[in-house]
């Protein structure tokens, strides 16, 4: 039989951008691999590909920056090793969404209904931060696209947020718990442990360098620790301030603040 020297023909290219990701779909006239090279310039530098041979392709690339234009090429290789390239002579681009931005109705219309990213289809609906008004099978084309975009954005944000179990409290003794009230001017080991907990979250981080910064925690409760303690109380106001009838943080680490600190140490 004649040797196959014809590369797959790529067609029906669509891109669904999100804030930190983008799903690219396309079709080929024969079974072939899915392959995308991309980057912020025509030098590309990044790629994602699969080894399975399919005619309907879908790749989701993640770790992207919001409001950024990316250049890309699509490639597909058939079982005979012939490689097609969607844009070897003409560069293609897409732009990720800005914070809080969603696709317009006109842009949504361009996405075929059947091209639902497989990775997002497998996600339990209960994990999404919104309630479905109806089963997926009863959704219109526009409703299905909107739901998929919300799932993509949520999953990417969730992936970027470390869980409590992933937060390191190196330097705090095992089984330690906050039992002593802490305030400005005190000099105790507990203050150092407080600083370690505060430095574990970007919202309450004490400093980027110098005394009190990660790895340079001290036992002294000074103005820097006070400011971090206030941020901590504001962050967890509903459990720390509200039960005490307070609306503004004080920086004094009393019983309610200690309880929350201990919950964090336990990974709650």
Q: What is the pLDDT of residues 222-256, one digit of tens each?
A: 999 999 999 999 999 998 998 888 889 999 999 99
Q: Identify whether 83 is part of a domain.
A: yes
| pTM of structure | 0.41
43: tokens are 């030098």
pLDDT in tens, 60-117: 999 999 899 999 988 888 888 888 875 554 678 999 888 765 554 444 444 444 343 4
Per-residue pLDDT, 210: 87
Tokens of 19: 């804030």
* Residue 152 clears pLDDT 90, i.e. is over it: no
The domain boundary residue, chosen from 96, 121, 150: 96
pLDDT score for 187: 93
Among 60, 77, 96, give the residue marking a domain's end: 96
Q: Considering the domain boundaries, does residue 208 fall inside one?
A: yes
Judge whether 5 lies within some domain. Answer: no
Residue 145 has pLDDT above 70, yes or no: yes
**Phi-psi group of 162: left, alpha or beta (phi > 0 → left; psi -120 to 50 → alpha; rest → beta):** beta
Residue 111 lies in a domain: no
- pLDDT at position 190 is 95
Count of structural domains, the chain: 2
Task: Name the pLDDT band for 134 (thresholds 50, 70, 90).
Answer: confident
Domain final residue, candidates 65, 96, 127: 96
CA distance 236 to 92: 46
Write the CATH number for 37. Answer: 2.60.40.10
Per-residue pLDDT at 220: 94
Residue corresponding to tokens 């994602």:
48
Answer yes or no: is 77 within a domain. yes
Position 154 scores a pLDDT of: 64
Q: Nearest to residue 225, comparing CAs of 252, 265, 254, 259? A: 252
Q: What is the pLDDT of residues 18-39, one digit of tens each?
A: 888 999 998 889 999 988 889 9
Burial pattern 249-264, b for ≥16 Cβ within 10 A else e, equals bbbebeebbbbbbeeb
Q: Which range (27-36, 94-103, 160-169, 198-207) has the least confidence?
A: 160-169
Q: What pLDDT is recorded for position 157?
A: 62
Dist CA 107 CA 142 (whole Å): 11
Domain extent, residue 241, equals 186-267
In a domain, 171, yes or no: no
Which residues have a Cβ under 8 Å from the Cβ of 101 and sit 6 or more positions away? 19
Contact 60, 21 (CB under 8 A): yes
Q: How many CB atoms lie within 10 A of CB 48?
A: 14
- Of 99 and 120, the structure prediction assigns the larger pLDDT to 99
How many other C-beta atoms are found inside a 10 Å radius of the C-beta of residue 184? 13
- Report the range of poorest mean pLDDT among 1-10, 65-74, 101-110, 130-139: 101-110
Q: How far apart are CA 147 and CA 105, in angstroms?
A: 13
Whether residue 247 lies inside any domain: the answer is yes
Q: Is residue 142 part of a domain?
A: no
CA distance 166 to 69: 32
Q: Are the CB atoms for 194 and 229 separated by under 8 Å?
A: yes
Residue 14 has pLDDT above 80, yes or no: yes
Helical spans, DSSP H, in the chain: 105-109, 118-121, 141-160, 189-199, 223-235, 237-240, 255-265
- pLDDT number for residue 186: 92
Looking at the predicted structure, is the pLDDT value of residue 121 above 90? no
């Amino acid at each position: 039989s004649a040797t196959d020297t014809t590369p797959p023909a790529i067609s029906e290219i669509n891109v669904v951008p999100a804030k930190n990701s983008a799903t690219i779909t396309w079709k080929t006239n024969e079974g072939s691999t899915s392959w995308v090279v991309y980057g912020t310039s025509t030098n590309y530098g990044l790629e994602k590909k699969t080894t399975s041979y399919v005619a309907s392709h879908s790749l989701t690339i993640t770790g992207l920056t919001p409001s950024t234009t990316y250049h890309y090429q699509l490639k597909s290789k058939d079982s005979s090793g012939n490689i097609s390239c969607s844009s070897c002579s003409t560069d293609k681009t897409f732009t990720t969404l800005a914070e809080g931005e969603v696709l317009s109705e006109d842009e949504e219309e361009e996405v075929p209904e059947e091209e639902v990213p497989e990775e997002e289809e497998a996600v339990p609906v209960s994990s999404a931060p919104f309630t479905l008004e109806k089963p997926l099978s009863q959704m219109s084309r526009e409703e299905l696209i909107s739901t998929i975009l919300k799932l993509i954005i949520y999953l990417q944000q969730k992936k970027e947020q470390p869980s409590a179990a992933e937060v390191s409290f190196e330097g705090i003794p095992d089984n330690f718990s906050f039992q002593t009230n802490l305030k400005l001017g005190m000099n105790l080991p507990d203050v150092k442990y407080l600083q370690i907990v505060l430095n574990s979250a970007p919202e309450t981080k004490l400093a980027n360098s110098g005394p009190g910064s990660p790895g340079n925690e001290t036992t002294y409760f000074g103005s820097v620790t006070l400011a971090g303690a206030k941020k901590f109380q504001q962050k967890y106001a509903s459990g720390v301030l509200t039960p005490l009838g307070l609306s503004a943080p004080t920086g004094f680490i009393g019983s309610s603040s200690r309880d929350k600190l201990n919950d964090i140490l336990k990974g709650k």
